Amino acid sequence: MKTTIELPDRTFRRAKTVAAANGVTLKQLLTEALEEKLRQGAKSSRSAAPPWLRCFGAFANSPSMRVETRRIQRRIDAEFERIDPEDWQ
């Protein structure tokens, strides 16, 4: 199938240079590169967590973070102790 894509000039020149150095056509180089990228994407999308989830819980097992979490919880508890429930009715 024929298609048109826009590439930055520098990328196009580098691709032509790499294709020539490897003795393949630009079409072959781009096809192989795209197929490889698609294979990697398929593998990583099945096994990898979404980008936002990669760092989620990263500090969960850190002793210093557990200490900090307890410190914050104590401050929250202390603030809630000061609230008079009758003021909220």
What is the chain's alpha carbon radius of gyration, rounded to the nearest angstrom? 28
Per the structure, the complete domain to which residue 65 belongs is given by 9-88
Tokens of residue 39, six digits: 């294979």
* Structural domain contains residue 43: yes
* Structural domain contains residue 61: yes
* Structural domain contains residue 1: no
In terms of pTM, does the model score above 0.85? no
* Structural domain contains residue 2: no
Residue reference for tokens 């008079």:
84
How many structural domains are present in the chain? Answer: 1
Per-residue confidence (pLDDT) for residue 89, from 0 to 100: 67
Phi-psi region of 23 (alpha: psi -120 to 50; beta: other; left: phi over 0): left
* Structural domain contains residue 84: yes
Q: What is the pLDDT of residues 8-60, one digit of tens each?
A: 999 999 999 999 999 999 999 999 999 999 988 766 655 566 776 666 776 66
| CA–CA dist 11, 35 (Å, integer) | 18
* Structural domain contains residue 38: yes
